[in-house]
Amino acid sequence: MATSKAFLKQVRGLTFVGKTDSNHWITIDGPEEFFGSNAATRPKELLLISLAGCTASDVAAILQKKRVKLDNFEMNVTADQTEQHPKVYSRIHLEYVFYGKDIKEKDVERAIQLSQEIYCGVTAMLKNSVKIEHSYRIVNTEE
C-alpha cells in the first residue's frame, strides 16, 4: 500500500500554504469576515478542482489513446451546498465540453464512463457522500 503525505503551514489568519509528495506549493485562504485574507482558493473549492482535474485527465488520456483529436477540452463544475453546518456539497454536476471536428459521441461517452466508474480516484472517494452527475457537449469547430 502506497502512503501519501501532505504538509500544511499557517502563514497568517486563514492563509495557509501546503505541499504534498509532488513538492509543489499551493495556497489556500478564507474570506476576510472569517479572519482570512481572501487571497487564495478555499479548501472546498479545491475539492471541485481536484474532481474535475482527476476525471478530465482520465478522459483526455482515454481519448488520446483512441486517437480522438481535440482542439480544446474544458470542464464546468457546479455544486449545491447545504445551508447548515457542516456546509457540504450535496450535488456536484460535471459538464465536459469538447471542441473539435469529427468527435464521435460514443467515444466521449465511453471515456467519461470509464473515468467515472473505474479510473477517477476522486470520484470513487466522493460518490458515496455526494451525488455526482455529468453531462457533455461537443462543439464542432469545423469551418
* Beta carbons of 95 and 50 less than 8 angstroms apart: no
SS3 129: coil
Residues 67 and 17 in one domain: no
Average pLDDT over residues 41-57: 97
Q: What is the pLDDT of residue 143?
A: 64
Residues 120 and 134 in one domain: yes
Q: Average model confidence (pLDDT) for the chain?
A: 96
pLDDT in tens, 64-104: 999 999 999 999 999 999 999 999 999 999 999 999 999 99
Average pLDDT over residues 105-130: 98
Count of alpha carbons within 13 Å of 50, Cβ hemisphere only? Answer: 14
> What's the pTM?
0.93
Return d(Cα 134, Cα 95) in angstroms, integer: 6
Question: What is the percent of the chain where pLDDT is above 70?
Answer: 99
Enclosing domain of residue 10 = 1-41
CB atoms within 10 A of CB 28: 20
Residues 50 and 120 in one domain: yes
Residues 98 and 58 in one domain: yes
* Beta carbons of 136 and 112 less than 8 angstroms apart: yes
Average pLDDT over residues 44-50: 97
Residues 115 and 51 in one domain: yes
Q: What is the pLDDT of residue 62?
A: 98
* Beta carbons of 40 and 12 less than 8 angstroms apart: no
Residues 21 and 56 in one domain: no
Average pLDDT over residues 98-117: 97
Query: Per the structure, how many domains does the chain have?
Result: 2
Q: What is the pLDDT of residue 43?
A: 95
Dihedral of alpha carbons 114, 117, 119, 121, sign: positive
Return d(Cα 73, Cα 112) in angstroms, integer: 13
